[in-house]
Amino acid sequence: MRRAAQRVSGGAFRQAGRTQAERRDEAERRILEAAADIVAEGGFEAITLAEAGARAGYSRGLPSHYFRTRDDLLSALGAYIVETFQARRRANAAGATGFDGLLEAIRVYFEMPLDRPNMVRAFHAVLAGALNTPAIAATVARLNHTSATEVAAGIRAGIAAGRLRDDIDPDAQGVLILAALRGSIAQWLVDPERIDLERLGANFISTLERSLTK
């Protein structure tokens, strides 16, 4: 009995030993993942702070301590999903940089919907919601700019390395490629039985390489 009590006590001590920042980070992550599930299942209008807290296993009032309003929660959700994608891309990049890094990022972009469909569906709901919600539109505009800039950087690196044509406008291509990627995933979300996402991703990459290389 004493040993069991020590184990319980030790476990409690380790839990209590976590910093406030660590506990907050975990709570925010769980709330955002719960929010993604709610939006994926019920659409953009289904989310509330209280429901996100309850779904995450916390009190219904806790999310308001981290996200003041529903729009704040949805803005944070969009940023969190992009950060999740970027973390996965870095983990799978195997040191790939420049244009090779861009191609790897595109490959991961087509893989994520199959592995995390709720997360991707929620992200597209946030993108659509930004059209009529100014607070979310500002966040989505920043995400769009950052994503398109990263694509442009990969193209510039390919030009500098002599792999890509030097008459390409990297900034314009960044916007166009981002639009094509999101449009492809949006079509799959609506009609997954018709679209083979793995084959589509492979075709997207090969077509992009042929159109940009010398």
Q: How far apart are CA 67 and CA 93, in angstroms?
A: 33
Q: What share of the chain is helix, strand, coil (3-state, %, to 5)?
A: 80, 0, 20
Q: Which of 65-79, 87-101, 121-135 has the lowest mean pLDDT?
A: 87-101
Q: How far apart are CA 94 and CA 199, in angstroms?
A: 22
Q: How far apart are CA 49 and CA 54, in angstroms?
A: 9
In a domain, 35, yes or no: no
In a domain, 47, yes or no: no
Report the CATH number at residue 143: 1.10.357.10
3-state secondary structure of 164: strand
In a domain, 170, yes or no: yes
**Cα 120 vs. chain centroid, distance in angstroms?**
7
Q: How many domains does the chain have?
A: 1
Q: What are the pLDDT digits (tens) for 158-201?
A: 999 999 999 999 999 999 999 999 999 999 999 999 999 999 99
Residue 208 structural domain: 70-212
Q: What are the pLDDT digits (tens) for 120-149?
A: 998 998 888 889 888 789 888 988 999 999
Which tops the pLDDT comparison, 61 or 14? 61
**Cα 2 vs. chain centroid, distance in angstroms?**
47
Type of residue at 173: Q
Q: How far apart are CA 56 and CA 24, in angstroms?
A: 13
Whole-structure pTM value: 0.80
In a domain, 208, yes or no: yes
Whether 189 contacts 114, CB under 8 Å: no
In a domain, 2, yes or no: no
